[in-house]
Amino acid sequence: MRSGWPRVVTFVLSAALASGCTVLNSVMTSSGTPAPPAGPYEPIRRGGGLLFVAGQLGTRDDGTLVAGGVQPETRRALEKIKALVESEGSTMDRVVKCTVFLADIAEWDAMNVEYAKFFPGRKPARTAVGGIGIPRMGRVEIECIAAVE
């Protein structure tokens, strides 16, 4: 299975770039103003009628992790994703795919408690991967793809 990942990533990135992705707003702070990206990437891009939301951590506006572990971090990451998706005219109901990266797969159930609150209706397809390093020593990182048209 591992050998398939580079092809999948290459396909998704190639399709996004070929469809003329455009850079959209940066991450929104709690005051509603854009925050600069934390690295050499854009937090959201549009391509082919889809919004590609880069992995979001459970961080405050100043970049520090929220306290309390995987549940508060999941809630904050999804709040940021919601703000990004809505800033581009879509909604969480139009999220079609999420990937959740967990520092410890044993926290999967706890993450799901918060995750489910953001998708009360039809759930997006989802992949969860555990046992990996998360930036800033976080417990969770979440990326999503949403329909916009």
What are the structural domains, with CATH classification, of the chain?
4-147 (3.30.1330.40)
Per-residue pLDDT at 1 exceeds 60: no
Distance of CA 74 to the CA centre of its chain: 10
pLDDT in tens, 48-97: 999 999 999 999 999 999 999 999 999 999 999 999 999 999 999 999 99
* Rounded CA separation 98/145 (Å): 6
Residue with token string 């555990």: 130
Q: What is the mean pLDDT of residues 103-117?
A: 98
Average confidence (pLDDT) over 40-51: 93
This prediction has a pTM of 0.77
